Structure 1
Amino acid sequence: MADFWSLATLATQPPSALRPVARRADGSLASHADLLVRIGHWHALLAPQAQTEWALYLNDPLEFAAALLGAWHAGKTVLLPGDALPETVHQLQHRGCALAGDLPGGLQPEAGAVAPTAALQALHPQHTRLQVFTSGSQGQPQAIDKALHQLLAEVATLEATFGARLRGETVPTVWTTVSHQHIYGLLFYILWPLSSGRPLASQRLLYPEDMVAHLGPAPSVLVATPAHLKRLGDRLDWQRARQGLRAVFSSGGPLPFEASQSAAQALGLVPTEVFGSSETGGIAWRQAASASQSWQPFAGVQWREDAGCLAVQSPNLPDGAWWETTDRVQASGDGGFVLLGRSDRIVKIEEKRVSLDAIEQQLLATQLVKEARALLIPTSVGQRVGVVAVPTEAGQLLAAQGRKVLGDRLRQALAGAVEAVALPRRWRFVPALPHNAQGKTPEALLRALFDPVEPLDTSAMPMPQWQLRSATEARATLRIEADLVLFAGHFDVAPILPGVAQLDWAIQLAQQCFDLPTHFVRLEALKFVRPVTPGTTLILDLSYKAQLAKPELCAVAFAWTSQDGSSAEPVAHSSGRALWSRTVPQEAAHA
């Protein structure tokens, strides 16, 4: 077991070739000595620079760790943007930040430069500064200042609380589904492993298939979010992953108890949930044995209830003052508390107080949806409630009759529980809630679902190679190259083909192949199973069928698949059914 080293002196320790810091993609280990070389390069690059504030964005976690420590030792305040999108870069430049790493025009050490030999001094706990940004789940991302002493306290608490369960004859590798550009990934994936001598894996596990491929049988730790743990599925073989896992961590949002149970069944461990925020750091943790399991505060964290909301005093905060949160709590009687939702999700509509949390809970109680997010959206009569929901199997059966059928049923269920003005006016039914690199669902992503849809640039569709075309069946292949315009911004770290593109292309090609009516009605039975990444050769199967029960209707079933070379079975990506009508469909009035 490696000694626990403070981040303040990590770069001043004698180089150690025996202390691992990262596991590369080829399986080789990078050592503390290797890290010191990279820290030296970044320190030599940044120390002479006049600017004091540097925005740092790097995809490679080991290089990121070296750049962060090098910048700190150079006396720089480091800002961690959550992404490298043009608007984010513009905002950073507007506030006068210099750019480093993978940001456009960002400063980086030259390849092949001679390793510097300057002696570094220990970092000052108060003067070493970092700025992180909130996820924007409740609105626009907000900048949060952190001093090193806050991060040191939090890393020490994590080791004291969870370190024993991670120990063993072999040091486990820390794998993650989250970005290190946010506080959760920064702490659990970068800073804690560096201090404890546990190597971090150099590649992120973005999909369940990646977890199955990389977790186990060697000892491992998984740092994940509810968004990823809810999507593990039961079609993969998790036996290998279960052999080596020592802990599964989840943070960034609430993990439903049902998802915790299914994750435990797949991974062999009940996820350890961590509750906190960018502002407060970690507050409490739990391993849920029931849906009402209380949260236990971390050592050193004091809490109290102020006007029904949680207030905390913690070494993770800038000073000893109490921090008022907007999380409603109730004491559990065992020294912990139960979370009751957020007080800031009480909104006003025409002077009526409306709880968005209450709307979501009422919707979940119908058992027609398994996830729901309510938000205010602009309408022709002012701000009203819109809902993004993931239907259950029962809900999908109703949606198959038309999305208005499911929406009306849910409105009826709400009618007796909420004011009429608070009844949702618009619905979006999706296979899964959208999420960002941190596994959170920012309000901006939800709002985007209600924005007017601009037609796709149809010229972006690769040229189909037809293998079969008949009056009722068709098959084509499309090569998805890395330079496809639709990959731009979707997403920078791990480009995937937008699901809407798969739907649009299926409809376009169906219209080329079959004699279809003019009026498009709806899409049904949509399933998105696995993302499409650059380099994939997609196979599209189309099947035309008249609707005998309704002669004016016809349907085209479609399925996107591919071959991965390791199995004769095709890899499913997405599927569904599109309906057309020879008369103007009644549903058009409710679209």
Structure 2
Amino acid sequence: MKAPTDLLATIWERADDEPVAFGPQGDATFGTLRFGAEALADRLMLLPARRWALCFEDSLLFAQALLACALTGREAILPGHQRPAALAEQSGDFDGILTDSEVLGELGRPWLQLPLAASTEENGQRWPAPGALQLTLFTSGSTGEPKAIPKAWHQLDAELRVLITLWGERLAGARLLASVSHQHIYGLLFRILLPLMLRVPFARTLTLYPEQLQHQPGRWALIASPAFLGRLDPEIAAQGCTLIVSSGGPLALADAHQSERLFGQLPVEVFGSSETGGIGWRQSPQADTPWQPMPGLEIALGEDDQLLLSSPYLPDDKPLLCADRIRLCKSGFHLLGRGDRVVKIEEKRISLDEVEARLQALPWVAAAAVLPLTVGARQQLGAVLVLTDAGHTQWQASGQGRFLIALREQLRAWLEPVALPRRLRLLAELPLNSQGKRPWGQLKALFNEVSIDINSTESAYWQMSPSGVGAMQTSGLPTLLDQHWQGDVLVLSLRLDPGLPWFSGHFPGAPLLPGVTQVHWAMHYGRQLPGLVGEFAGMSQLKFQRPLRPGQECELHLNWLADKGQLLFSYRLGDEHASSGRVRLCP
């Protein structure tokens, strides 16, 4: 498919009766989007603020705010989240806030809450088409601190033209679903700008559960993350899928093939970053499928096998030396890991990617994340592991101290002594943030905050204790701040009061909300769901990705699948998943 000459004008020229978005808040036409953008533009012209942070759950309102900024020449700031405390720390990066949340009005900055009252009807003269969009994204760097990435319109324009050429025809006539936030570059391009230009209606809310893909009317496409595709239920096959896109991290080959079996589409994987835009893409019928460079890009080998990129998506014509190491081949390139994941310990260069690969090759380890730690004046490696069944058995039999010694002995054949991990933490699953990236700051906090007895097999391991289920019947409950419906999903806003008894002793010095408590609360509040009956009969697909701590505010999302007798729950901190799972009920 060929891209039009002026992409922003193409959006603005759409007919007012064309469908543009759908969701539990109601379907919307382009007229609704245009009227809302123009009404907001009128308001922005009366205000001195030039940099506006866009913080929205509703993608239609986000698109209105984005277009209003383009119409008025205001800079759109995408913080990447809606967490009040984090926004307060970033308040120097913007002059005002555009949002659909009442909570963000308490930050002491000028703010406007959408939808505006004036957005329901057309006021005044129609605005001319915007000529450009000025944008700044924020992403987490290696330190976890927000990093500003300005994007000029020519960068976004160049990338959108390639996406239209590659996948425009497959999206034609479909409805677009997404499990990724519009607050980041991947979601911004694929979930908002691309469908607006292709006249493809997009979902106003996130697709949180794979079950929501069933019974979709007509043709549909999915913009997803590897984490979402890894949670697919093998029983949820659905018809009508035209395209699945995955980005943000590596997609397991088994998950790619399961997606194809369930939906008839082998996912398109996109490799890139907020700084570079898309670099390459592939579909993986087999292991180690090479990546194809995006059309118009030049890829070469730089120092230490690092990717040297020349791309129209960059801010200037200068080649960029990326941290990713690659191997070139006739049909594209292979990724070898990150060059910036090489550390020096006692004058030895250690590849953290290699240590992870060696750990994951052991029969005890299903997944590993390795990071450098500073202990006193010395630097050493820590490893966060997900164990196999054999690893669980060995852990229970030997305890952490002997387990670590045995693990190090198995690694000595390949690694320098200083590259052997000296500290361990265990998780049920390695977490990913909303961008599909590994949250290294959170993983490091496991070592900084939790004191572990090396003879204990419990304190280092975030899992649910079966013996705790009965005791939970007398648990205290959090403060309920708000509750509302998103379609069939009940959303509750909760405050985790520090005085709750379940923080006591779990763990000393670094309290966390136990997983079993989270399940109990899901059961308690789930009784409000229409048709939910029965008693607890088991749990499955439990995933604990981020700890819940005293004083935090979180959302609990609940969905009752009556035909399966399952209660789906997920806890969220801002736009990041903290935990999720299914509770099976029997009559």
The aligned amino acid for 1:50 is P
Partner of 2:382, secondary structure, is: strand
1:201: which partner in 2?
A: 203
Picking from 425, 428, 433, the partner of 2:430 is: 433
The aligned amino acid for 1:366 is L
Does 2:294 correspond to 1:304?
no
Name the CA distance, whole Å, in 1 between partners of 2:326 and 2:196.
Answer: 34
Are the equivalent residues in 1 in contact too, given 2:372–2:380 (CA < 8 A)?
yes
The aligned amino acid for 1:60 is D
Q: Deviations along 1:84-131, whole A, 9 cap, x unmatched?
A: 223432233234532221333432357432633333233334xx3100
Name the CA distance, whole Å, in 2 between partners of 1:258 and 1:58.
Answer: 34
Matches within 5 A, 1:97-496: 97-101=95-99, 102=101, 103-105=104-106, 106-108=111-113, 111-113=116-118, 115-125=122-132, 128-136=133-141, 139-167=144-172, 171-212=173-214, 216=216, 218-234=218-234, 237-239=235-237, 241=238, 243-307=239-303, 308-334=305-331, 336-401=332-397, 402-404=399-401, 406-453=403-450, 476=473, 483=480
Structure with max Cα Rg: 1
Q: Which range is displaced more, 529-538 or 342-351?
A: 529-538
The aligned amino acid for 1:317 is L
Q: Deviations along 1:293-349, whole A, 9 cap, x unmatched?
A: 100011111111112111122221122221111111111112x11111111100112
Name the CA distance, whole Å, in 2 between partners of 1:315 and 1:32.
Answer: 30
Normalised to the residue count of structure 1, the TM-score between the two structures is: 0.76
Are the equivalent residues in 2 in contact too, given 1:431–1:526 (CA < 8 A)?
no
Q: Deviations along 1:400-420, whole A, 9 cap, x unmatched?
A: 434445444432222222222
Does 2:53 correspond to 1:46?
no
Does 2:526 correspond to 1:536?
yes
The aligned amino acid for 2:412 is A
Q: 1:566 to 1:525 in 2, by over 3 A?
A: closer
Name the CA distance, whole Å, in 2 between partners of 1:387 and 1:496.
Answer: 34
Partner of 1:203, secondary structure, is: coil
Q: 1:366 to 1:301 in 2, by over 3 A?
A: same
Q: CA deviation at 1:52?
A: 1.6
RMSD, aligned CA? 4.0
Q: 1:563 to 1:302 in 2, by over 3 A?
A: closer
Name the CA distance, whole Å, in 2 between partners of 1:298 and 1:442.
Answer: 27
Name the CA distance, whole Å, in 2 between partners of 1:122 and 1:108.
Answer: 24
Q: CA deviation at 1:13?
A: 1.9
Partner of 1:25, secondary structure, is: coil
Are the equivalent residues in 2 in contact too, given 1:497–1:531 (CA < 8 A)?
no
Partner of 1:363, secondary structure, is: helix
Normalised to the residue count of structure 2, the TM-score between the two structures is: 0.76
1:24: which partner in 2?
A: 23
Are the equivalent residues in 2 in contact too, given 1:273–1:285 (CA < 8 A)?
yes
The aligned amino acid for 1:174 is L
* Structure 1, unpaired ranges of 5+: 455-469, 486-492, 510-523, 543-561, 577-591
2:459: which partner in 1?
A: none
Q: 1:233 to 1:430 in 2, by over 3 A?
A: farther
Q: 1:221 to 1:137 in 2, by over 3 A?
A: farther
Matched positions, count = 506
Q: CA deviation at 1:531?
A: 10
Does 2:77 correspond to 1:86?
no
The aligned amino acid for 1:370 is A
The aligned amino acid for 1:183 is I
Q: CA deviation at 1:211?
A: 3.8
Partner of 1:274, secondary structure, is: strand
Q: CA deviation at 1:268?
A: 3.2
Partner of 2:288, secondary structure, is: coil
Q: 1:110 to 1:195 in 2, by over 3 A?
A: closer
The aligned amino acid for 2:81 is D
Name the CA distance, whole Å, in 2 between partners of 1:532 and 1:41.
Answer: 41
Name the CA distance, whole Å, in 1 between partners of 2:559 and 2:130.
Answer: 52
Q: CA deviation at 1:475?
A: 8.0
Name the CA distance, whole Å, in 1 between partners of 2:375 and 2:242.
Answer: 50
